[in-house]
Amino acid sequence: MSNTKRKRRWGDRKEGRKLRTIDPMFKVMPYIMTRRSDSQNFFTEKLDITEAEKFCREQIRAGRKNFSILHVIIAAYIRVVSQRPAINRFVSGQKIYARNDIEVLMTIKKKMALDGEETCIKVKFEPTDTVYDVYDKFNKVVEENKGETEANSTDKMANILRHIPGWLLRCFMKLLNFLDYRGWLPKFILDLSPFHGSLIITSMGSLGIRPIYHHIYDFGNLPVFVAYGAKQHGVKMDDDGNVKKYRYIEMKVTTDERICDGYYFASAFKMVKRLFENPSVLENPPEQVIEDID
């Protein structure tokens, strides 16, 4: 992932470049833990929403309709990718790659009702994107996918697959896994696949419930799943030892531990928390974008 175009080398994939100088232990790990479901780590964090809510209200008053905490979370994550690029790696074919793009996925309801249809959207971002870029890009894709009549490319593919007999669908999925393992999936499938990307995020808060630990999928190469819940009230101690009330959301994260070590993940998500709780930092692009190793 970089603004600098690199020449594709032998062993690279369409969606990422193979990491050749990675620590030997990380080269071995995908052969020990061959599936993402073998490699899942889970953790939870509470995010103080005091400043984020204030920031969102300011943006709505400025004319940015439906500006929300979701935009701040995504912007914070993208900023962290620009500084901690290893969280944008993925494992495919038992090799570790640095992803070329930042791709965020989310399942949305076309209509907020029990019988409302769902669709999955994928939005591409740049490491230099500000929170305003995130708002514009994300909302543009959401608006394009609203409505009960239109189906996006992912929906159309799912509709085609559901008409295939079960035995043939099993064979087709084995073929897709074979092609994906070797990096031979066509680019158009990678572009619309909800199983290939940097991050998938879901808002349990829109349903009025607390978040869940959501699994990551063995098919594809998504390395991180973030779920956050409804706003809650809590108490905490400030720097002077005083107990004060505050509002927060709970965030639950599932990661593929094979892409980087625990210290790196901890550093990255502490940065997500710090940026989310100080969203004004996200109004400007990062001073520099850090590249992943070769």
Which amino acid type is present at position 16? G
* Secondary structure string (H, E, C) spanning 77-135: HHHHHHHCHHHHEEEECCEEEEECCEEEEEEEECCCCCCCCEEEEEEEECCCCCHHHHH
Q: Residue 196: CB partners within 8 Å, gap ≥ 6?
A: 15, 103, 190, 220, 221, 222
Whether residue 101 is predicted with pLDDT greater than 90 in this model: the reply is yes
Of 269, 282, 291, 289, whose CA–CA distance to 56 is shortest? 282
pLDDT of 245-274, one tens digit each?
A: 999 999 999 999 999 999 999 999 999 999
The full DSSP string for 219-242 is SS---EEEEE---EEEEEE-TTS-
Q: Residue 230: CB partners within 8 Å, gap ≥ 6?
A: 204, 205, 207, 208, 209, 210, 249
**pTM, rounded to two decimals:** 0.92
Strands 118-125 and 243-256: unpaired
pLDDT of 3-51, one tens digit each?
A: 556 788 899 999 999 999 999 999 999 999 999 999 999 999 999 999 9
Residue 30's H or E segment, with its range, is helix 24-32
The CATH number that domain 16-283 falls under is 3.30.559.10
| Whole-number Å distance between alpha carbons of 143 and 163 | 28
Asked if 30 and 258 touch (Cβ cutoff 8 Å), the reply is: yes
